[in-house]
């Protein structure tokens, strides 16, 4: 199972949202680059990096910071936020990104997702940001009536490398992930899935690992790391 510590960047700083609400943010002292260096020091091989400004504005905003992270760490970086074109995707791969996360553009333009998966085989991750089973887009601001499961079934044969499934109502709450809904989701599709949202403790991580579901590839962890509910050394020993 892959553990991906998360770095969400807004205004050039590490922040975490509460339930996807941009008016409820917590800012942390370490710079994104320093935070990535700390994750690397503890032996993590994958980092999940999101340009929140990019997600809101639909363009690459914190590009220079993310490039610094890539330049100064020898790990696999998964990047999302503001990626709206094949040119954006190429630019990230050219600087050494491991996987690209597409969310809003994939939902709005399913053909774009298909083209991206065809051109960059096993390199495109689909972000499904979900409230009560339905997808939200544009930095979680706009709620759609598109069923997450129906959409996943529609793109199942595109070649998406993984789905990042975020329960927005759990994200940033440290109240535990929505395991029941996530497991039900994985049983319906054949795409590897990364669980995101609500991870609160080492126990949550170990419980997910014990499930040994063939479709659960890993976990993204954010606020619980930043607020010391999860000890990085202890977490690294689970790798």
Just list the catalytic residues.
8, 129
Backbone angles phi, psi at 124, to 5 degrees: -110, 125
CA distances from 131 to 7, 160, 181, 238 (A): 22, 22, 11, 30
Assess contact for 134 and 114: CB atoms under 8 A: no
**Angle 32-34-35 (CA atoms, 0-180°, nearest 5)?**
60
Residue 237 buriedness (CB in 10 A; 0-12 / 13-18 / 19+): exposed
Question: Smallest Cα–Cα separation from 81: which of 108, 111, 96, 101?
Answer: 101
Burial 210-236 (b: 16+ CB within 10 A, else e): eeebebbbbbbbbbbbbeeebebeebe
Residue found by looking up tokens 């995101």 in the block:
196
Assess contact for 221 and 205: CB atoms under 8 A: yes
Please state, in angstroms and rounded to a whole number, the distance separating the CA atoms of residues 152 and 119: 20
């Amino acid at each position: 199972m892959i553990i991906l510590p998360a770095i969400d960047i807004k205004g050039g700083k590490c922040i975490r949202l509460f339930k996807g609400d941009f008016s409820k943010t917590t800012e942390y002292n370490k710079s994104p680059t320093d935070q990535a260096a700390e994750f690397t020091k503890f032996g993590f091989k994958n980092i999940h990096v999101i340009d929140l400004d990019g997600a809101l504005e639909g363009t690459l905003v914190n590009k220079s910071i993310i490039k610094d992270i890539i330049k100064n760490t020898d790990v696999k970086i998964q990047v999302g936020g503001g990626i709206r074109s094949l040119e954006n995707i190429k630019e990230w791969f050219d600087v050494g990104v491991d996987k690209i996360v597409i969310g809003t553009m994939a939902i709005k333009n399913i053909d774009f997702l298909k083209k991206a998966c065809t051109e960059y085989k096993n390199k495109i991750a689909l972000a499904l940001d979900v409230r009560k089973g339905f997808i939200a887009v544009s930095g979680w601001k706009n709620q759609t009536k598109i069923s997450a499961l129906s959409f996943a079934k529609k793109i199942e044969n595109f070649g998406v490398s993984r789905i990042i499934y975020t329960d927005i109502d759990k994200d940033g709450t440290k109240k535990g992930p929505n395991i029941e809904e996530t497991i039900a989701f994985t049983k319906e599709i054949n795409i590897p899935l990364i669980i995101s949202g609500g991870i609160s403790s080492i126990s949550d991580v170990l419980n997910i690992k014990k499930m040994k579901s063939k479709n659960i590839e890993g976990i993204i962890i954010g606020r619980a790391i930043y607020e010391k509910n999860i000890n990085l050394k202890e977490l690294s020993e689970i790798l």
